[in-house]
Structure 1
Amino acid sequence: MRRLPILKALTDQHLVYRSHVKRFWKHATYDEASKVINSIVKQYDEKKPIIVSEALVRELLDFSDDANSPTKFPERMVKGCMLRMGYDGALNSANYLKR
């Protein structure tokens, strides 16, 4: 698990309020040219712009790879991990049954 580049994203826990998430997405827009999500949120009676980019997500989640690294895991590795976690049955199907 420590070798996974997404370890921090999987293990860190933060308190997030559903109302904050809804408010963010209510005003969110995606800019195709710069590939960022823009939103305006109200904080202490003041409107603040929020910009979410891939670089920001990589920095906050402490990804050790760069933007050009592969984003998919080899099928053999995924199936091996599923077996080690106790999944049973056909691994070629979309549904897995855990023992």
Structure 2
Amino acid sequence: MERLSIQKALTDQHKEFKSHVANFRKNSKYNDVNNVINSLVSIHGEDKEIIITEQLVREVLEFPDDENSSTGFPERMVKGCMLRMGYSGPLNKANYLKACFTKP
């Protein structure tokens, strides 16, 4: 795991509230022109616009920005990681289902 540039994204744990996530999703829109996500959220009764860019995600998750950083992973490694995380569904499908993960 230490070799992966996405280790922090996979291992960081933080608290999130379902109501906050639901409110963000309900009000969010993807802007094709600028490649950003805009959402209007209420903070202490005041509406504020939240803008999420690719650069912001890279900073928060500490993704490396050099051109030699991997952007894809071998299929065998992905399937092995899924099994180690307790995934019990079919591994050859295009989508992995959240319900097939064992609870931690």
For the aligned pair, the TM-score class normalised by the smaller chain equals 0.7 to 0.9
1:88 aligned residue: none
Q: CA deviation at 1:68?
A: 8.2
Q: Please give the alpha-carbon distance, in whole angstroms, between the structure 2 residues aligned to 1:21 and 1:67.
A: 32
Q: Please give the alpha-carbon distance, in whole angstroms, between the structure 1 residues aligned to 2:21 and 2:67.
A: 26
1:41 aligned residue: 41
Of all paired residues, the percent bearing the same amino acid is 52
Residues 20-99 of structure 1: pairs in structure 2 closer than 5 A: 20-66=20-66, 69-75=69-75, 77-78=77-78, 81=80, 85=84, 93-94=92-93
Structure 1 segments unaligned to the other structure (5+ residues): 86-91
* Equivalent AA in structure 2 for residue 56 of structure 1: L
Instruction: Calculate the TM-score normalised by the size of structure 2.
Output: 0.70
Show CA shifts across 1:32-64 (max 9, x none): 011000001000011111001111000000012
Structure 2 segments unaligned to the other structure (5+ residues): 85-90, 97-104
Q: Hey, which bits of structure 1, 4+ residues long, moved more than 6 A?
A: none
49 and 74 in structure 1: CA distance in 2 versus 1, 3 angstrom threshold = same
35 and 68 in structure 1: CA distance in 2 versus 1, 3 angstrom threshold = farther
